[in-house]
Structure 1
Amino acid sequence: MVQMKEFRIVMPLSVEEQQSTTGTEGVEIVENRPFEDDVYGKGQYTLKIYRLQSKAPTWLTKFAPADALVMQEEAWNAYPKCKSVVKCPYFTRFILTIDTVHKDDNGQSENVHGLTEEQLAVRQVETIDIASTVNDYWSYIIGSSNIDLSQFQSARTGRGPLTDGWQGQCDPVSTAYKLVTIDAPYWGFGSRLEQALVAGERALFLESHRNCFGWIDEWFGLSMDKMRELEKQSDSSLNKKLGRPCAIEDNEELDEIRTIPSC
């Protein structure tokens, strides 16, 4: 059965400010080029490779050889709308999509993705509080910055701390609506794989958005050159945790063309 879950990540930032932040998503970039179409308008297309052999759950390695746990992601980034499609060449029927819409609200919009009645009936919704912490398998794998946002206050903007009910009180505020759709039609382990990947995406969303705000004093008001340098650092740090190759090294060509917003 196809799993469809919408994560709503409320942020004490405007949509415009989120567009300028650096990313924590680190992968090998195979292709990176501008695109334009009738759905998203103008944006940036990327083809990326994830290598998950060393971090996959033990039960999954029983169903596939290590070299099969390589994922390919195509992404169409036309902020404030983005779409990612993840496939696995070994499991040819597997597909994961993430549709993201950013809005200047506090997570109360009910159908930003324009779903049908049938889709709304199966969609699950979870609002992620970036001030919360989670200790599970995927949060351990992804790692944690150990920033306590319930105590943190930005020196440059005065925003924070994020105490109970902060989503309805802060200004500015915006929400990343991330619709995760997973289909792994494999008898015996498909449902378990779908559940594991939803949990993994949730952990990644939480940590990346926590860092996005927790590091605000490092990026707020910086030039694009400085932002790119921070992007390199965060990319390298996360890749070391995940056992992936760094997406950006000292490659001037990639540095010039890469434009991936974080949140």
Structure 2
Amino acid sequence: MLIKEYRIPLPLTVSEYKIAQLYMIAKKSRDESKGAGSGVEIMVNEPYTDGPGPNGTGQYTRKIYHIGSHLPGWLKSLMPKSALIVEEEAWNAYPYTKTKYKCPFVERFTLEIETYYFNDDGSQENVFNLSRSELRERAVDVIDIVKDETADCVPEEDPRCFRSEKTGRGPLEDNWIQEYWRECKGSDVPLSSGKALMCAYKLCKVEFKYWGMQTKIEHFIDDV
């Protein structure tokens, strides 16, 4: 099993991020519903009272993603229908969430993501209460939204250029995390200046139980 923890500092409060998260979930579902062989089915959407999260309560959803539109036609024609869907289970107990992905065609594959959101700079070392053996296996990757450029970055969404008229945040400099934390540490956010800092801690566990391919596939998924 591959264990990787991503830490993503963001110029938001945990409360603000909750709104952004709901928006992006809706946007992603809409985007996934375009084109033939695509779409999202919501199979279950209900509260839970005995599940993951600090209090064991939250909202449970189960979705089916149809991914045929993301594959070349020649490849899609060779694959069974069970290979063209991904099942998602999610437990939302914000500021904690847990999501699990699996593909019926690849029964021994699972991708599990746990997330905690804190108003800090990403310096907490074990928010998931991992065991000693898990800590030895875990790799940590801090993602800086300014320094770690993405190929599909839209200019008007570039944090190095964008300034929020509502909050006054941005554009962000290379040392923005240290600068924001120096001002925000120990204070209620957002500050009167509008600044805020939070971190999304994401623990990813990838398991691909096929002899001879496990390590290679798990690291390939991590790279993607």
TM-score normalised according to structure 1 size: 0.65
SS for the counterpart of 2:217 is helix
8 A contact 2:162–2:171 mirrored in 1: yes
* Bigger relative CO (Cα 8 Å, ≥ 6 apart): 1
The one-character-per-residue Cα deviations of 1:49-76 (angstroms, maximum 9, x if unpaired) are 1223343599xx69x8253132111000
More strand by share: 2
The one-letter code sitting in structure 2 at the alignment partner of 1:161 is: P
Spell out structure 1 runs of 4+ moving beyond 6 A: none
Q: Which residue of 2 aligns with 1:199?
A: 223
More helix by share: 1
Distance 1:56 1:46 in 2: 26
Provide closer, same or farther for how the CA distance between residues 185 and 39 of structure 1 changes in structure 2, counting only shifts above 3 A.
closer
Equivalent of residue 108 in structure 1, options 107, 110, 123: 123
Q: Which residue of 2 aligns with 1:28?
A: 41
The one-letter code sitting in structure 1 at the alignment partner of 2:108 is: R
User: Which sections of structure 2, spanning at least 5 residues, go unmatched?
Assistant: 30-39, 181-194
Distance 2:61 2:45 in 1: 4
Equivalent of residue 184 in structure 1, options 204, 208, 211: 208
The one-letter code sitting in structure 2 at the alignment partner of 1:145 is: V
The one-letter code sitting in structure 2 at the alignment partner of 1:134 is: T
The one-character-per-residue Cα deviations of 1:105-162 (angstroms, maximum 9, x if unpaired) are 0111110000011001111111111223223xxxxxxx54342211111111100111
User: Which sections of structure 1, spanning at least 5 residues, go unmatched?
Assistant: 136-142, 201-263
Equivalent of residue 158 in structure 1, options 163, 168, 190: 168
8 A contact 1:53–1:66 mirrored in 2: no
* Aligned counterparts, 1:88-237, within 5 A: 88-131=103-146, 132-135=148-151, 143-146=152-155, 147-170=157-180, 171-200=195-224
The one-letter code sitting in structure 1 at the alignment partner of 2:134 is: Q
Q: Which has the larger radius of gyration?
A: 2
How far apart are residue 196 of structure 1 and its match? 3.2
8 A contact 2:52–2:91 mirrored in 1: no
TM-score normalised according to structure 2 size: 0.76
Question: How many pairs align?
Answer: 189
Q: Which residue of 2 aligns with 1:19?
A: 18
How far apart are residue 90 of structure 1 and its match? 1.3
Equivalent of residue 65 in structure 1, options 62, 73, 79: 79
Equivalent of residue 37 in structure 1, options 50, 53, 64: 50
2:80 matches 1:80: no
Distance 1:56 1:6 in 2: 29
The one-letter code sitting in structure 1 at the alignment partner of 2:149 is: T
How far apart are residue 167 of structure 1 and its match? 1.1
